[in-house]
A and B are shown apart, each in its own frame.
Chain A
Amino acid sequence: GDSVTQMEGPVTLSEEAFLTINCTYTATGYPSLFWYVQYPGEGLQLLLKATKADDKGSNKGFEATYRKETTSFHLEKGSVQVSDSAVYFCALSDKGNTPLVFGKGTRLSVIA
């Protein structure tokens, strides 16, 4: 079945450091790919998405590019802030009506 693998956390970075959170997927078709963010005590918020190969999703300084050849959707940000501290989930949806399949999440802590 479909699955998402993302790098284990926690990840601790200093403010203004570069962030990469790796995500790879396995799917039978051509899925849509997502990154969600969960702040402490809250639900999930959609951060960005990409629906086809070579698409780049971006939002709030975060970016991820849909790489079909490597089945990856790595999340990057050039300069993290303390307010970016959260848990980040990579997810895919294989067909329009199927529920999201989530990775295990990566906890990011940014220190001043």
Chain B
Amino acid sequence: GAVVSQHPSWVICKSGTSVKIECRSLDFQATTMFWYRQFPKQSLMLMATSNEGSKATYEQGVEKDKFLINHASLTLSTLTVTSAHPEDSSFYICSARTGQQPQHFGDGTRLSIL
């Protein structure tokens, strides 16, 4: 089946650091990738949608300068949390899709900012 790899799975860093999370589709070309944020015991909140080669579309309330998304190829998208602060601590999950096929999810990245 379709596999989406997300890296790293867990990162702890100091406040003010920028953190990059990678999302790769391993066995298919992802025309669209999505980034979600999940708070403890809550549902997934869509942050942004990115199509290969174009700028990401951010959901209302998500700071595009804070959460930089790059979708440089059909198999890779990155989310960079710039100047991270404790309130950015969360579980970030990416998903990828080709055409109108179902979305496939990565295993998530747990980000802890001290």
Contacts and interface: CB of A to CB of B under 8 A. Distances in A.
A57 B110 CA distance: 31
Looking at chain B's contact residues, the main secondary structure is strand
From B44, B46, B49, residue with most partner A Cβ within 10 Å: B44
B30 to A, nearest CB: 13
Interface string A77-97: 000000000000100010011
Interface residues of B, number: 22
B102 A34 contact: yes
Given A96-B100, A99-B49, A99-B103, A89 B32 contact: no
A43 B106 contact: yes
From B6, B43, B106, B108, residue with most partner A Cβ within 10 Å: B43
Q: Chain A: interface residue count, which band?
A: 20 to 34
A89 B34 CA distance: 17
A31 interface: no
A69 interface: no
Interface of A: 32, 34, 36, 41-46, 49, 89, 93, 96-97, 99-100, 102-105, 107
